[in-house]
Every structure is written in C-alpha cells, then in structure tokens.
Amino acid sequence: MAILHRATLTPTKLELLETWLDTPASGGLDGAGRLRQVGNYRFDDPDGEVGVEALLITRGGPVRQAVLTYRAAPLAGAEQHLIATMEHSVLGRRWVYDGQGDPVALAVYRRALAGRQHQAALEVWVGDTLVETRPPTVRLTVWDPAASPEGLTVRLLREPGVVETGSPALVAAWEGGEGVVATA
C-alpha cells in the first residue's frame, strides 16, 4: 500500500513538472493551456524507502506519462536524472528523480511486467491514523507477462501507446483513455 500523507508540497507536483517539461531531458509536452493531471498510479518499494509514482498529464494535447521517484536523500550517481527537490510538510525535503534513471523504479516495473508486483493501494494517513482509502484513477493490467523479471530491460513510455506484439506490456486505463505505459 502507498501511504499518502495529508501534506503541503512545495513546489506542487504539477509546478515541478511544468518546470521540468521545459527541459530537453523530459522530452517536452505538446499542447496549449495549463498542465492537468489525468490520473496517477503508484508502486510500493519493497524496502519502503522510495516513493514510485507515475502521473498521466496533458496540456490539452496527447496524454504523457511522468514516472517520478521520491527519496529522502540524493541518489548517488543519478544527478542527470534529478528533476528537483521539494519540501513535504510531513516527511521533509524530498529529492525527485525521473524514474527512467532510478534503479528502484526500474525494478518495480520489471516485477510488474512479470506479473509479480501490482499497483499499490492508496491509503491516506494523518499521523498514525488511516483516514481514507482512495480508489485508483488509473488501473493497470499486464499484457503477455514475462516468465521472470530477471534480465528484463524496461522501457517506460513517455506517451502511452499501443501493445507491441510479442513483448510484455503494462497497460494503463484511465477515464477517457488507455495505453501501454511500459514494455520489456
């Protein structure tokens, strides 16, 4: 389960993405208007240290996927994948990385593509009290799962696409659309 805290984030996730989407590393985002979140999904880090979240976003054009990881300390050797830092009113400073360069994100997607890890349930906590369980805004299914996560090379798709025949795929469905968000 993904533990969500009722907290203030500075900058917000969309503010952080607005800035990052203007950099070459992000691949940009087509469309005009304000950035809008279409949905999101999370995976649990088995060690409980790293938050792994994918946001589906749009500016009125195609839906894009941004896979983010949230860490309590910088990830050594991954400076080129650092998007920004943010202040979390409950957890403190978080280092936010592009999941394409984070080994924890890639590992959870490998397990998901083999059908061995499912998206996390979303639980909202205030202190030590569970106050809400949120329904997912994105539902994931595995198409043609791999026999094993070992040795899989994960490709996280910035733009959700169609299933490629013969390869495992993680398919996301959200209100108004669906597409492949990761393949092996």
For 150-168, the pLDDT digits (tens) are 988 999 999 898 876 678 9
Strand residues in 30-151 grouped as ranges (E) = 36-43, 51-58, 64-71, 82-88, 92-98, 122-126, 129-134, 138-143
pLDDT confidence of 29, banded at 50, 70, 90?
Answer: confident
End-to-end Cα distance, the chain: 25
What is the pLDDT at residue 2? Answer: 57
How far is the C-alpha of 71 from the C-alpha of 91, rounded, in Å?
10
For the entire predicted model, the pTM comes to 0.89
pLDDT confidence of 7, banded at 50, 70, 90?
Answer: low
- Inform me whether the pLDDT recorded for 50 exceeds 70: yes
- Inform me whether the pLDDT recorded for 4 exceeds 70: no
Could you give the percent of the chain with pLDDT greater than 90?
A: 60
